[in-house]
Amino acid sequence: MSDDDLATVPEPPALLEVRGVTRGFYGVRALNGVDLVVKAGQITGLIGPNGAGKTTLFNCISGLVPPNSGRILFNGEDITGWRPDRVTRRGLVRTFQIARGCPRLTVRENLLLYGADQPGEGVVAALLRTQAMRLREQDLQQRAIEIANRLRLTRELDNKAAGLSGGQKKLLEIGRALMAKPKLVLLDEPIAGVNPSLAREIGDRLRAIVADGISLLLIEHQMDMIARLCDHVIVMAEGRHLTEGTFAAVSADAAVQEAYMGRPRWTS
C-alpha cells in the first residue's frame, strides 16, 4: 500500500441509489428524472421547497407508489416497484409526514404491531403455536422495550398512543420504524409541529440511532435541524435533484436560494 492509499479516506458505500425516477399524477410530473445516492452510516438531509417531490420520492422508494420509469437500488439490489412489505423486509422503512400510529392501542401494542414478520397471525398459526414462535414473540417484546427505552418512551409503554404529546407521537412513529430492524429509515418531517426543545431531543435520538449503525434519509423544513444533524444534504426542486453537499455549501448556493425564493418553507 502506498502513502497515497493511506491518505485516502474511504468513501462510505452507497446504500440507496435512485436513477432517473419519474412519477406523474394526472399529467403533472411530480418527479422528473431524480438521480441520487444515499451513503451508509450517516444522516443525509433531503430538502427542497414545498411541492419539490420529496414525499413522492419517499413513496416511490418505499413501494407505496410505483415510479413510471427509472430504477431504485437498495444495498445493490433492484427494488423498483416492490410492494412496501417486501421493501421493509429488506431493511428499508419509512415514516410518514402525518404520524400513522393506532391511537387506541398502547405504545407497546403499536410497537409490536409493526415488528417485522408478525408471529401468531391467523387462526391456524394461533392453534399451532410453536416453541419457535413463542421465542420470536419474546424477542419482539424485548425489542419493543429496548426501543421504548432508547426513545425515552418507557413510562408510556402501557398508555394509549392517543394520550401522547405531539413530540412523543413523532418518537413512536420512529420507534415503529425501528421495530423492523432497518438498515435505512426514511423520515418525512420528523419534527414538524414539535416545540424546539423536544425537536432537539428528537435530533439527539436520531444521532444515537445512527451511532447504532442505522442510516437515515431525512426530509425536514427546519433548517437549523438539517444544519445540526446532517452529514450531507441533497436539494430537490421541481421534481429533480438540484444540488448536494454540506449544509453550508448548499445554503450558500444561488440556485438553491432561487428555488426557495418566495416560498414560505425555509424555517430555522
Ligand X SMILES: Nc1ncnc2c1ncn2[C@@H]1O[C@H](COP(=O)(O)OP(=O)(O)OP(=O)(O)O)[C@@H](O)[C@H]1O
Task: Give the number of residues in contact with ligand X, rule: CB under 6 A.
Answer: 11
- Picking from 200, 184, 248, the residue whose alpha carbon sits closest to that of residue 43 is 184
x/- mask, ligand X, residues 28-67, rule CB under 6 A, reads --x-----------------x-xxxxxxx-----------
Judged by CB, which is closer to ligand X: 30, or 164? 30
Q: Which is nearer to Mg ion, 55 or 88 (CB)?
A: 55
Q: How far apart are the first and last CA of the chain?
A: 46
Q: How far is the CB of 95 from ligand X (least distance, A)?
A: 13
Residue type present at position 226: I
Return the DSSP state at 267.
B
Smallest gap from residue 83 Cβ to ligand X (A): 18
**131-150 and 196-211 helices, crossing angle to 10°:** 130
- Closer to Mg ion by Cβ: residue 55 or 80: 55
CB of 239 to ligand X, least distance (A): 7
3-state SS, residue 30: strand
The number of angstroms, rounded, from the C-alpha of 267 to the middle of its chain's C-alpha atoms is: 21
Closest C-alpha among 253, 210, 248 to residue 38: 210
Residue nearest Mg ion by beta-carbon distance: 55
Applying the rule CB under 5 A, the residues between 34 and 63 that interact with Mg ion are 55
Nearer to Mg ion, 153 or 236 (CB): 236
From Mg ion, ligand X, none, interface partner of 56 (C-beta below 5 to 8 A by class): ligand X
The rounded distance, in Å, linking the Cα atoms of 11 and 114 is: 33
Q: Is 267 in the site for ligand X (CB under 6 A)?
A: no
Who's near 58: CB < 8 A, 6+ residues apart? 64, 94, 186, 188, 219
**Which among Mg ion, ligand X, none contacts residue 53 (Cβ within 5 to 8 A by kind)?**
ligand X
CB of 115 to Mg ion, least distance (A): 27
Within 10 angstroms of residue 134's Cβ, the number of other Cβ atoms is: 12
Contact set with Mg ion (CB under 5 A):
55
Contact set with ligand X (CB under 6 A):
25, 30, 48, 50-56, 265
